[in-house]
Amino acid sequence: MSSSREQLLDSDSAIESQITYGAAKSDNEETVLPVSLALPPNFFWIECSLLANVFLAGFDGTVTASTYTTIGNQFKAANIASWITSSYLITSTAFQPLYGSFSDVLGRRVCVIGATSFFILGCLGCGVSSNIFVLDAMRAVTGIGGGGLITLATIVNSDLVAPEKRGSWQAFQNLLLGFGSICGASLGGVIADTLGWRWCFLAQVPIALAGLVIGYFYIHNPKPPHVHVSVHMFDKIDIKGATALVLSLAFQMIVLSLGGNELNWSDYRLLLMLLLSIGLLFHFALVELRTSAIPIIPPVLLRSSFSYIILGIGVFLGISSYAYLFVLPLLFQIVLGDSASQAGLRLTIPALFTPVGGLIAGVLMSRKKYSLFSLVVAGCTLMLFGNLITLYIHKGVNQWVTGLCLIPANVGQGLAFPTSLFSFIYNFDRDKQAIATSTAYLFRSMGSVWGVTGSAAIIKRVFARRCLSSLHRLPGLSQHQIHTIVRTVSKDVSQIQHLEPQIRSVVQGSYEHAIRFAQFLSCMCCLACLVLAGVKKVARIRSRSSYDE
């Protein structure tokens, strides 16, 4: 089966692939041939290799969330610590949709080995990085491999497992992904506090290496005799589009990271990079319109108003969810005074309840009593409520109450992610649903990049302005001392604890003020989702799927 027919299912949902109803009606239904339900030889070992990669994808996604503050402090670069996450997201976003094409041309085995090798190389590089820039570069390398770990697991299982059993296997894969996320969130801070943050990356290498060796010996992709790999087959891979997308997102990340921090927003270098980013984004759009390769975003999917509505919701969901996840560790460590391990343990709650939201979505979808879009609206509403109540988390709040405040946003996320995905893909005939899936993930992933970089930019900008203004009101501080304090704590948050009590109180208050602004960004994105939903209702924009009305 072509790998372009099966794409990655969302890591935040433990139920998405179990729902198979609601396709747009088509006059050209495919003939379904009998499929053997017998599992292939060495299936156990193949699954060991694939599921090891799936676990690592979940672990790596949350271990950085619980440790990036610690890493930034050690390198005296807390002001650009968001790059640790952003650099990974950029490359994984661009390469994720390409793995389907690569696996068709090169075969499943080569791609699994290649993706795992890049992941291992990146983790090793992160573990021995000498500065923040080397670490960011190696995170980008990790993202090249990480973008294929879950995708290829889904593709290979689609080849091996009969359709009748695929849902249960995919559900197990997603549950293991959720388990990896929980382990990354809960253990990341503990590892950083005990063994050092480098072991958060190095500890992944033995598991990935075991998966690589098993995959090398047991994953095979026999081809018919008439199929031969040629140079011309690579013309079907949209390398130009992927390159333009990576560069555009990278320039955006640099602009948001340096603007108002290292450079003034009016600096010609920032303006030049911003123009380059916009130009590359337009170039990406032109490539997708004109390419003879399999486009990353096929224009045929963007010909209805409903597509723009639901993809816009996907972008805002990505921004909101990652801004929320990025801000939480800072909230825990600066406002609540947690250590890295304590903050990591608190992150277990969001990691646990997102799959719960996915399970709720699956149950409601299977009963078919509610339209998919109404479930999207319900999820966005719950996310908005959850983000609003986290605005009231402060040091005097009971720990159990704090934990309860973290639940609604993640249940809403687990509810909104799969339902928004299916609302989009069921708007198309079955032969377009696979590429529609990858398109929906791409838009959401782009939102994720903007969520991390945008929230980091807001925190840096608001903190600097608030702190400078507040410190000027304290007697006995010179202009030089004030700027030194702001610069020092911006690069190493742990230095706050070494300040005089009066100054420490001002700095912590300024950071809390900045964090609240970043949380407000997440709230506004949830509200934007509801506004788009309102536009759909007022304009009476309809989906082609009978399950969306």
In a shared domain, residues 269 and 325: no
pLDDT, position 209: 96
Please report, rounded to a whole number, the percentage of residues in the chain having pLDDT higher than 70.
Answer: 87
pLDDT, position 384: 97
Residue range 357-378: mean pLDDT, rounded: 82
Predicted confidence (pLDDT) per residue in 424-475, tens digit: 888 888 777 767 877 888 888 889 889 988 898 899 889 989 999 999 988 8
Please state at what angle helix 433-471 crosses helix 239-258, rounded to 10 degrees: 10
| Whether the predicted pLDDT of 503 surpasses 60 | yes
Please report, rounded to a whole number, the percentage of residues in the chain having pLDDT higher than 90.
Answer: 29
Q: How far apart are the first and last CA of the chain?
A: 32
Give the structural domain span for 264: 238-293
Is the full-model pTM beyond 0.95? no
Please state at what angle helix 433-471 crosses helix 305-330, rounded to 10 degrees: 40
When mean pLDDT is compared across 25-39, 197-211, 299-313, 510-524, the lowest value belongs to: 25-39
In a shared domain, residues 267 and 314: no
In a shared domain, residues 437 and 529: yes
For residue 363, tell me if it sits in a domain.
Answer: yes
- The string of DSSP letters for 413-465 reads HHHHHHHHHHHHHTTS-GGGHHHHHHHHHHHHHHHHHHHHHHHHHHHHHHHHH
Rounded Cα gap, residues 142 and 495, in angstroms: 30
Residues 6+ apart with CB under 8 A from 93: 143, 147, 245, 249, 442, 445, 446, 448, 449
Predicted confidence (pLDDT) per residue in 180-238, tens digit: 888 887 788 889 888 999 999 999 999 999 999 999 998 876 554 444 555 566 677 78
The count of residues in the chain is 549
Residue range 58-63: mean pLDDT, rounded: 85
Rounded Cα gap, residues 530 and 493, in angstroms: 36
For residue 528, tell me if it sits in a domain.
Answer: yes
In a shared domain, residues 287 and 305: no
In a shared domain, residues 385 and 353: yes
| Whether the predicted pLDDT of 525 surpasses 80 | yes
In a shared domain, residues 90 and 137: yes
In a shared domain, residues 136 and 188: yes
For residue 411, tell me if it sits in a domain.
Answer: yes
| Residue 190 burial (C-beta neighbours within 10 Å; 0-12, 13-18, 19+) | middle
Q: For the chain, how many structural domains are there in total? A: 3
Specify the higher pLDDT residue, 37 or 238: 238
- In this prediction, residue 509 has a pLDDT band, given cuts at 50, 70 and 90, of very high
In a shared domain, residues 246 and 148: no
For residue 231, tell me if it sits in a domain.
Answer: no
Predicted confidence (pLDDT) per residue in 143-183, tens digit: 999 988 888 887 787 778 776 666 567 667 777 887 888 88
The single-letter DSSP state of residue 474 is: S
User: Which of 460, 476, 475 is CA-nearest to residue 513?
Assistant: 460
| Whether the predicted pLDDT of 27 surpasses 70 | no
In a shared domain, residues 304 and 207: no
Q: Are the beta carbons of 57 and 150 closer than 8 angstroms? A: yes
